[in-house]
Amino acid sequence: MLLTGLPATAGPVTAARQLSDVIPAPAEVKANPKADFRLTPFTQIRTQPHSKDATRIGHYLARTLRPATGYPLPVVPARRQHLPGISLLLGKAAPRTGTEGYQLDVARSGVTIRANTPAGLFAGVQTLRQLLPADIEADRVQRRAWTVPGGRIVDYPRFGYRGAMLDLARHFHTPDEIKAYVDELAQYKINHLHLHLSDDQGWRIQIDSWPRLAPEGGGPGTGVDGEGGGYLTKADYTDLVRYAAERYITVVPEIDMPGHTNAAQSVYAELNCDGVAVPPRTDIEVGYSSLCIDSEITYTFVEDVIRELAAMTPGPYLHIGGDEAHATTDEDYATFMNRVLPLVYKYGKRPFGWNEVAKVDPPASTVPQYWGTTTQNADVAEAAARGSKILMSPANKAYLDMKYDANTPLGLQWAGFIEVRDAYEWDPGNHLDGVGEESVLGVEAPLWSETLRTLDDIEFMAFPRLPALAELGWSPRATHDWGSFSQRLAEQGPRWQLREVNFYRSPQIAWPG
């Protein structure tokens, strides 16, 4: 692109953005090349008067754009008479934008984002951010033109639930690491963060009525290879929930049971049928542990945990795991779930479970999370037929902990290798027999931590596959196109570099430079 009128010292020139150069792909795009908008030192960010949410989102946008532009970008209430600027307005958006969508108009005189809700406004801000040149992600002033391509986007999600899961049990990840991940998730319009808070190797959330659970079950030496110690205090958790909520992300906590419970059973002897505490485990075997199904103390424990977790979780969902309970008989599994599912409802939450939960014919409002590797599962199909919504996380497509290929240093490979294209080329609304579009709650990308230690590790496995899954969750089926996606993805590379986000340079993508 020729940048006329700029000094010779202008920064690196990247290709001009097109209005459709966004991940996830917007639902409706109408470009108008004559209507490009240019950010200037005089641009104001004008927000819906008297709206705290709009003001907060305005400041978020200003904080995002100031470092690279060096412009002051004051955030002021929107008034009738004004200079060119970016307006963030609530109300009067096209009805089809719903509760999470937005409408973005780019004209020479300004950018206007309208949405019916703050969540929609925030989504529109993420789109605007991606429409600016990649240099906008720099943490120092870049001397260059800041052009937003002209036209109109009307955008809204295909599925209401777009999630990512972090496993804190196998290796604890600190609140700061989780927040850094949340910041990235928000940019791709992910709206749920599922935290896997307990497993055989660790218990990662403070529970007051069982006070030794977290300090001992999540203490030093817990985790895979004894290297993943740590836990969230209630204050940490509450702060994380707030941080995520400010980015329109709802936290979904998971306590895995009746299997994957060795950590709890190693701390409290009474959770074992023989009354003897099991030794802590740091290996990655699965399917050997089970709470004691016939003992009343088990249900006291489970109810205490659910009650405390529900009380600190404003979101509507609570995940009770239920996967790989190989040490529990089918009969015991049903007994357990039939007592525990009502407890989740008792404390005002809607249960999620890994797809095994579908075996017990749970109420239709329980959400089975499909993690299988085939396109058939009779129990899940029956649940869908009874009216359940299914969350789609097929392990051979959506598991971010699978290796990209045989050379990937991190990750597992039990569900196969997952290159970027594999993560992208499937249709959540038509993947599982008997589970059609209308039965799908959404898509979630789980990231299990057996092999992960650092934030760098998390990022390397998540990027660039997470944006592929985000697009499957948000964008209409009609926009699905690998050629287009892979080009748009390539352009994310320089942004990650500037934000110091680690990522896998997949040979399937023509990364610039």
Catalytic machinery residues: 324
| 412 belongs to the binding site for ligand NGO (CB under 6 A) | yes
Shortest Cβ 482–ligand NGO spacing (Å): 25
Pairwise CA distance, residues 141 & 128, whole Å: 19
Among residues 209, 150, 163, the alpha carbon closest in space to that of 367 is found at 163
392 near 429, Cβ under 8 Å? no
Q: Which is nearer to ligand NGO, 116 or 355 (CB)?
A: 355
Element at 110 (helix H, strand E): strand 110-115
Return the SS3 of 129: helix
Tell me the C-alpha distance between 39 and 71, whole Å. Answer: 9
Contact 497, 135 (CB under 8 A): no
Question: Which lies closer to ligand NGO via its Cβ, residue 240 or residue 357?
Answer: 357
Q: Which of residues 263-322 bind ligand NGO (CB under 6 A)?
A: 286
The helix or strand, by DSSP H or E, that contains position 481, with its residue range, turns out to be: none
CA–CA dist 219, 211 (Å, integer): 12
| Residues 6+ positions from 318 with CB-CB distance below 8 Å | 252, 253, 254, 306, 309, 310, 344, 347, 349, 350, 351, 352
C-alpha 107, offset from chain centre: 32
Nearest approach, Cβ of 203 to ligand NGO (angstroms)? Answer: 15
Q: Shortest distance, CB of residue 281 to ligand NGO, whole angstroms?
A: 13
Of the residues 60, 203, 336, 399, which one makes contact with ligand NGO according to CB under 6 A: 399
Residue number of the CB atom closest to ligand NGO:
448
Per rule CB under 6 A, is residue 94 in the interface with ligand NGO?
no
Nearer to ligand NGO, 333 or 399 (CB): 399
- Shortest reach from residue 194's CB to ligand NGO, in Å: 11
User: Least CB distance from residue 448 to ligand NGO, whole Å?
Assistant: 4
Total Cβ atoms within 10 A of residue 249: 26
| CB nearer to ligand NGO: pick between 46 and 403 | 403
Q: Which of 354, 404, 424, 460 binds ligand NGO (CB under 6 A)?
A: 354
Q: Which member of 60, 448, 485, 503 binds ligand NGO (CB under 6 A)?
A: 448
Q: Tell me how far, at minimum, the Cβ of 478 lies from ligand NGO, in Å.
A: 31
CB-CB neighbours of 415 under 10 Å: 18
- Whose Cβ is closer to ligand NGO: residue 450's or residue 471's? 450
State yes or no: residue 401 binds ligand NGO (CB under 6 A).
yes
**Closer Cβ to ligand NGO, 448 or 485, answer by number:** 448
Token pair, residue 245, equals 């909520």
Contacting ligand NGO within 320-349 (CB under 6 A) = 323-324
Distance (Å, rounded) from C-alpha 341 to C-alpha 90?
A: 39
Q: Which residues pair with 392 in a beta bridge?
A: 370, 443
Decide: is 203 part of the binding site for ligand NGO (CB under 6 A): no
Judged by CB under 6 A, the chain residues 367 through 386 that form the site for ligand NGO are 371
Q: Which residues bind ligand NGO (CB under 6 A)?
A: 286, 323-324, 354, 371, 399, 401, 412, 448, 450
